[in-house]
Amino acid sequence: MAQSGSASGLGPEGRRFESYRSDQFLLWEMVYMDARIYKPAKTAMQSGRGKTKDWVLEFVSGAKRVSDPVMGWTSIDDTTGQVRLHFDSREQAIAYAKREGLTFSVEEPRKVKRLVKSYSENFSANRKQPWTH
């Protein structure tokens, strides 16, 4: 990708040009990035509480997704949606977002309702549905 400047190989005066897209990261892009801080819920594929103890900071992208007309793949120009930062506590994630100047929202985890049952309840006399076999 070309940098803004002049090309001295095109004559003694050179030719001025502006790059269509700069290689440099723009500071204003970072200031207005939105972040979401949350504690992930357990997936439906696991019975334990693995990978649910960390707090996660991920960036919310406002960019539009574009479908490739030939292959049908979906792509996006913003790669910040691929970044996920893990923290041990909610306070650490908030401190990081404030230190980096990010606008953020915190989603509190929902309370888990536990339905305690025992195997013997399948054979109790006061079942709601009769025993079929």
Distance CA 131, CA 65 (A): 53
| pLDDT value at residue 56 | 94
pLDDT higher than threshold 90 for residue 96:
yes
Helix (DSSP H) and strand (DSSP E) numbers for the chain: 2, 8
| pLDDT value at residue 39 | 93
State pLDDT tens for residues 61-77.
Answer: 878 888 888 888 988 88
Reading the block at residue 81, the tokens are 């949606």
Q: Where does 32-42+50-109 sit in CATH, by number?
A: 3.30.160.190
Model confidence at 55, in pLDDT bands (50, 70, 90)? very high
Sequence letter at residue 11: G
3-state secondary structure string across 65-118: CEECCCCCCEECCCHHHHCEEEECCHHHHHHHHHHCCCEEEEECCCCCCCCCCC
Domain map of the chain by residue range? 32-42+50-109
Q: Which residue has the tokens 């549905």?
A: 129
Model confidence at 30, in pLDDT bands (50, 70, 90)? very low
